[in-house]
Chains A and B, each alone.
Chain A
């Protein structure tokens, strides 16, 4: 089972070409971070993976289904997408109603709804806000509400678009814990991020995009220690990686413990 993007391009209705010949396979159980400059095509690309954008050329196959043959709602059952801006997907008057919404729509048994909501709320640490109107919550918490609603719908793949934006230490830690718990549940997590520390710490596979194309795909060391990729994708090493580079420490160091050991 996998998401397969094959020779896919995407042109917006106004004629703007956002993606050119994208090829990528994301297998079940992987954790993938997509990095690159604002405007590189990251969001357009992941929206293709859950059927919000249908490729104008090429194909996107989700678990054997071509997204062109299915509705977005159908694909979204397998591939959940959390928008960069939570306000694009939040519309209920309490956090609880928001998290339960899809489950009630599909008329799941009450017991199952309860269990799923409990898990989603626990993973996103929003138990204290269930009876509050999401619009009264600050942006970073609203983001967790949006994430919880997607987790509750139990997709096989979850796409998080810039989850760390505006998060404090606690929020970032909650995200890391959530991602490893989702992995245990067998969920594939794909994220878009500008936070290189977050990418390196939580994702085994890093995909770098630049100017409508995927320019590199590999593990963190392969991406962040390739100066050509770093400069073309306009990304940055982690601060520890940069320190290792300036100190000429061998071994493509990215983590603190590695660096301490080598000095």
Chain B
């Protein structure tokens, strides 16, 4: 059975005319890593809001169709219960950070505190996550006095620490440098390997190509295309849907155009190296 199942879902935010989601049907399976890509305004964040139950519990508006998480409609989920199941890292770290805690440590601990996790366990979990995200030197700082990149990592930590089965992550690296970006992807990869379901919105297409198993391309509130990462990102037509494809895929198509075709269109660096080296054989 599908873990998260969307059946003909349409949704309109309050006071807007245009539907933000239009007849979306899709099944997410447990334990897989999904990448949601596509143009801004295409419905990526709205889809995340729905899966996390913020639609319809926080954003009212008009929801049609069925959206089932673990067999239960999001309308019937209690927001507290669903938040223990699905962690959501917001796009804007300013939205995520509570603003009521005076240190990074307390900020990261806030969710566990609310769940009543015993103190010793809470401290251990917070420290582990802060080390993992390389913010252990910041634990005593005020979250409101951090740089955007640091805040993004604190917001991420405060969700990872909850150890939910599923993580919905909306552009976690938009404010990070290449090294910070890679470390976030490494963490996401290890979360995936520990069996979690990951749903990630991201524009950095090279990293999507490297890590995700399935891709959804959102455009104008619809799923314009979906399928295995390789099929979607090696297709030149994907560019017409308002999203990039990896530089290596563009390279693969350019080689073909130039009459030097590779055996396949690569979407990652490793694939490209292998395909070029195999060309002479």
Contact = CB atoms under 8 A, between A and B. Distances in A.
B239 to A, nearest CB: 8
A212 to B, nearest CB: 15
Interface stretch (A2-10, A25-33, A94-102, A160-168): A160-168
Minimum-distance CB pairs A-B, first 8: A239-B247, A166-B174, A38-B149, A236-B178, A168-B40, A38-B177, A260-B254, A194-B177
Interface stretch (B125-133, B226-234, B268-276): B268-276
A167 B244 CA distance: 11
Nearest to B250: A256
Nearest to A236: B178
A263 B256 CA distance: 12
B99 to A, nearest CB: 15
Residue of A84, A85, A169, A196 with most partner-chain B CB within 10 A: A169
A141 B40 contact: yes
Interface in B172-217: 174-181, 203, 206
B258 interface: yes
Given A38-B147, A256-B247, A256-B251, A168 B39 contact: yes
Given A234-B177, A263-B276, A140 B247 contact: no
Interface of B: 38-41, 91-92, 147-150, 171, 174-181, 203, 206, 239, 242-244, 246-248, 250-251, 254-255, 258, 260, 269, 272-273, 276-277, 279
Given A139-B92, A260-B260, A263-B260, A247 B175 contact: no
Given A169-B244, A238-B247, A260-B260, A194 B178 contact: yes
Interface residues of A, number: 38
B176 A194 contact: yes
A11 B179 CA distance: 26
Given A38-B149, A246-B273, A197 B178 contact: no
Interface of A: 36-39, 84-85, 138-141, 162, 165-172, 194, 196-197, 234-236, 238-240, 242-243, 246-247, 256-257, 259-261, 263
Contact of B40 (A84, A171, A236, A260): A171
Nearest to A241: B247
B178 A259 contact: no
Contact of A263 (B175, B176, B206, B255): B255
A36 B180 CA distance: 12
Contacts of A257: 254
B40 to A, nearest CB: 5
B179 A168 contact: no
Given A168-B40, A170-B39, A260 B255 contact: yes
A126 B256 CA distance: 37
26 contacts: A37-B179, A38-B147, A38-B180, A84-B175, A139-B91, A162-B175, A166-B174, A168-B203, A169-B239, A169-B243, A169-B244, A170-B40, A171-B40, A197-B247, A239-B206, A239-B246, A240-B248, A243-B251, A246-B273, A256-B251, A256-B254, A259-B251, A260-B255, A261-B258, A263-B255, A263-B276
Given A169-B39, A236-B178, A246 B91 contact: no
Contacts of A36: 177
Contact of A246 (B180, B206, B251, B269): B269
Nearest to B153: A38
Contacts of B180: 38
A235 B251 contact: no
B132 to A, nearest CB: 18
Contacts of B178: 194, 196, 234-236
Given A257-B254, A263-B255, 14 more contacts: A166-B40, A169-B242, A169-B243, A194-B177, A197-B247, A238-B247, A239-B246, A240-B247, A243-B248, A243-B272, A247-B277, A256-B250, A260-B260, A263-B260
A133 to B, nearest CB: 13
